[in-house]
Structure 1
Amino acid sequence: MDSEGASSVQYDRWNEDNINLNVEASQSTVMRLYNRVCVGSTGMAVKVAGALAALVSIYIIGYVTGYYVHRC
């Protein structure tokens, strides 16, 4: 057995220098916009504002509907 030959095998395919970790450059515009608006503290603010807008719109729809139903 030749143990010296087995230990001299090079794995160029797994070389860390050849790995492209630049994920930001390969993302589409939609994904970059999603990451900016929907993730992190900005995303939390957008979600809170959206929930508040939904509640206010439901309140207004209910108020107008109740007004016309009970207008007698």
Structure 2
Amino acid sequence: MTSETDPNTAGVQYNPLRKMLYNRVCTGTLGVAIKVAGALAALVAVYIIGYLIGYYAHKC
């Protein structure tokens, strides 16, 4: 089945570099570490935004 006949892969070309990068970054130990670091960064950002909003809301 080629990409001309398969509507799910129409216009998508096989890219081994993209697949290798996906496998390295999104799976395995490195992928888990990146996801944990991203979640931690998001948590810290929300904490800082909440702190600043609370500081200016209760300043008076």
Q: Secondary structure at the match of 1:36?
A: helix
Identical residues among aligned pairs (%): 62
Count of aligned residue pairs for this structure pair: 47
Q: Which runs of 5+ in 2 are unaligned?
A: 1-13
Q: What SS is found at the alignment partner of 2:21?
A: helix
Hey, which of these two has a bigger chunk of helix by percent? Answer: 1
> 2:7 aligns to what?
none
Unpaired runs of at least 5, structure 1: 1-25
Q: Does 1:66 align with 2:51?
A: no
Instruction: Tell me what 1:55 maps to.
Output: 43
Q: TM-score, normalised by structure 1?
A: 0.59
Deviations 1:6-52 (A, max 9, x none): xxxxxxxxxxxxxxxxxxxx633222211111100110000000000
Report runs of 4+ in structure 1 exceeding 3 Å deviation: none
Q: TM-score, normalised by structure 2?
A: 0.69
1:1-72, aligned counterparts within 5 Å? 27-72=15-60
